[in-house]
Amino acid sequence: MNAREVRVELGERAYTVHIGPGALLSVPAEIRKRLGTTPRRAFVVRDSGVPAVFFDELAALLSDAELAVSSIELVPTEQSKSIATLERVLAAMASSGHSRADPVVALGGGIVGDLAGFAAASYQRGVPVVQCPTTLLAMVDASVGGKTGVNLRVANDTGDRLLKNFVGAFHQPLTVAADTRVLMSLPDRHRRAGLAECVKHAMIALGITGADLMSETRAAMPGVLAGEEDAYGRLIERSVALKGEVVRRDERESIAGLGGVRMLLNLGHTFGHAIETIPNLSPNPAYPELAPLHHGEAVGLGLLAACRCAERLGMCEPGVGDEVLGILDMIGLPSTVRDLPDTDEVRSRMGADKKAAGGKLRLVLPEGRGRCRVVTNPDETAVAAGIDAIRG
């Protein structure tokens, strides 16, 4: 296979991210290398959207490594990313005879990876997990770094509200296998949505590693959008290397002062999560049946809102927002949405963000090309300007 490898350096918990066609082949060897001969079982949490051929291949590889395979299939929605679904997974693991020595293997997108990872972190106070991401978004972001969790639905005066990733744990994987073959099976919309996380990484990279990922990401787009597998591999490798360095420096998202460097990975997500939980928004107002927004589409809108907010605050170099808008347009991601609720409603949803501290909103905002910082309690007129910038 045309393999690429990125090492996430975390001392004795360091692990390798395998990237490329056939990366699934690395899973059994990594399990045996890290866990020895003790494991006798593997429990696969399977995304219902993953073609059966990839599950069958993974199950055969695990069986050949003398691991008895049990599995559960989940439909990946934000509503099913819940404590109730977590309980189903844990019960299925217990029924299968899963022990503390046995690995959980997540085969799916970010929702399944987060949920399976949290199940592994919780079951008998922690069992190993292997991440096999099957979407671009999961490959470049969700599968790397150890964040796991589920959503929480709470009631308030205006009805139920979904709080994204509100319950969870940090639980690093044994290894990650990002097999790019599966990307070619995804609908075009899913692949484009995943590119928003690559843009996010580019917007913070210069201030962390000195790499100009903005230029590299823009240059990579023609090959990526044409479906060239090697172009995807290079793009994933760059994003994973950036995220791995952030995780190495700040594994658990320090909240000292204005926040550790890992908090920069939340760029676009406070705006994005707020609009993602609004049920009837579509990336194309001419096609309301496309609602709800995909996570990557919401993140792309959040990136643009963050740029416009920073511009209103006077903290961002000229041209950054327009460059981001140009890349989003090149990808084919929405830059506005119709039927966005009034600004106060969106702002209220942002206030429920788990990054808030002491009741104060904290936003990651761009200062310049490839550089961002955390801003606490930003001026409300600037926040409103960010929201209004994405209103169609």
Quick one: tokens of 347? 């702002």
- Please choose, from the candidates 198, 240, 232, 235, the residue with its C-alpha nearest in 3D space to the C-alpha of residue 21: 232
Residue in the structure block whose two tokens are 């990975």: 265
DSSP string, 102-171: SPEEEEESHHHHHHHHHHHHHGGG---EEEEE-SHHIIIIITSS-EEEEEEEEEETTEEEEEEEEEEEE-
Task: Please give the average per-residue pLDDT across 81-101, as a whole number.
Answer: 98
Taking the model in full, what pTM does it have?
A: 0.92
Q: Give per-residue pLDDT as tens, 108-127.
A: 999 999 999 999 999 999 99
Average pLDDT of the residues in 187-195: 94
**Of 242, 221, 305, residue with least CA distance to 268:** 305
Q: What angle do CA 267, 268, 273 make, to 5 degrees?
A: 125
The pLDDT, as a whole number, for residue 254 is 75
| Whether the Cβ atoms of residue 175 and residue 244 lie closer than 8 Å to each other | no
Residue matched to tokens 């990922």:
213
Using DSSP bridges, classify how beta strands 362-368 and 4-8 pair: parallel, antiparallel or unpaired. Answer: unpaired
- Give the Cα separation of 354 and 269 in Å (integer): 11
- Residue type at 269 in one-letter notation: H
Q: What is the mean pLDDT of residues 193-219?
A: 95
Q: How is residue 16 written in tokens?
A: 């390798």
Look at residue 25 in the predicted model and tell me its pLDDT.
98
Residue-wise pLDDT tens digits, 319-342: 999 999 999 999 999 999 988 999
Q: What percent of the chain has pLDDT over 70?
A: 97
Residue 39: per-residue pLDDT: 96
**CA of residue 373 relative to chain centroid, distance:** 20
Considering all CA atoms of the chain, what is the largest pairwise distance in Å, rounded to the nearest integer? 60
Burial class (CB in 10 A: 0-12, 13-18, 19+), 22: middle
Question: Rounded CA gap, 16 and 65, in Å?
Answer: 19
Per-residue pLDDT tens digits for 290-323: 888 999 999 999 999 999 999 999 999 999 999 9
Model pLDDT, residue 160:
80
Q: CA angle 192-195-201, nearest 5°?
A: 170
Task: State mean pLDDT over 252-273.
Answer: 82
Mean pLDDT of 5-23: 97
Higher pLDDT, 105 or 285: 105
Which whole number is the average pLDDT over 47-76?
98
Tokens of 291: 């609602």
When pLDDT is cut at 50, 70 and 90, the band that residue 258 belongs to is very low
Least confident range from 170-179, 281-290, 378-387: namely 281-290
Q: What is the mean pLDDT of residues 218-232?
A: 93
User: In the predicted model, is pLDDT for residue 53 greater than 60?
Assistant: yes
Q: Is the dihedral of CA 271, 272, 273, 277 positive or negative?
A: positive
Q: Which structural domains are found in the chain, ordered by start?
A: 4-185 (3.40.50.1970), 190-389 (1.20.1090.10)
- How would you classify the pairing of strands 371-376 and 362-368? antiparallel
Q: Which residues pair with 131 in a beta bridge?
A: 106, 176
87: Cβ–Cβ under 8 A, 6 or more apart, which residues?
none
Evaluate whether 134 touches 54 at the Cβ level (below 8 Å): yes
Structure-block tokens of residue 295: 């996570």
| Predicted confidence (pLDDT) at residue 344 exceeds the cutoff of 80 | yes
pLDDT for res 291: 81
Confidence category of residue 162, pLDDT binned at 50, 70, 90:
confident
Count CA atoms within 13 Å of residue 11 on its CB side.
Answer: 2
Is it the case that residue 47 has pLDDT exceeding 70?
Answer: yes
